[in-house]
Amino acid sequence: MRIVILACVALGLCGSGLYMVKRSVDARYKELKQLEYTITTAEDRAAILAAEWAYLSRPDRIISLSSSLLSMRPIEPDRILPLDAIPLRRPAPARPQTEGDSND
């Protein structure tokens, strides 16, 4: 008789443990589905933003905006100088060291 009672208690404990594991797995599965949905939504939004950026950064659009809003025009070829025409910067003169200065 004791064996039957112990077997019933053991089966009850195993059943309760199995039920708790099932509920935990179901909760994790629900969390996984929610995360997959969030990732899919974020990927869709990133694709939309990439398409909008490609549309807004078209060179012909930027050129038309710059000419209409900024009154910009291309640089004339006579305004471009060769590198030889740019004077080199002279090095700064060395400062004489006084008694108060110490670099040690």
pLDDT number for residue 102: 59
Which pTM does this prediction carry? 0.51
| Residue 101: Cβ within 10 Å count | 8
Q: Is residue 104 part of a domain?
A: no
Which 3 state secondary structure label does DSSP give 52? Answer: helix
Structural domain that includes position 50: 28-72
Residue 102 lies in a domain: no
Confidence class for position 103, pLDDT limits 50, 70, 90? low
For residue 15, being part of any structural domain is answered with no
Instruction: Indicate whether 92 belongs to any domain.
Output: no
> Considering all CA atoms of the chain, what is the largest pairwise distance in Å, rounded to the nearest integer?
110
Placement of tokens 């077997």 in the chain? 7
Measure Cα distances from 21 to 28, 40, 82 in Å. 10, 28, 77
Q: What is the pLDDT of residue 101?
A: 61
The answer to the question of residue 32 being in a domain is yes
CB contact set of 67 (below 8 Å; sequence gap of 6+): 73
Domain assignment present for residue 1? The answer is: no
Q: 63 in a domain, yes or no?
A: yes
How does residue 81 score in pLDDT terms, banded at 50, 70 and 90? Answer: confident
Tally the domains of the chain.
Answer: 1
- Report if residue 91 sits inside a domain: no
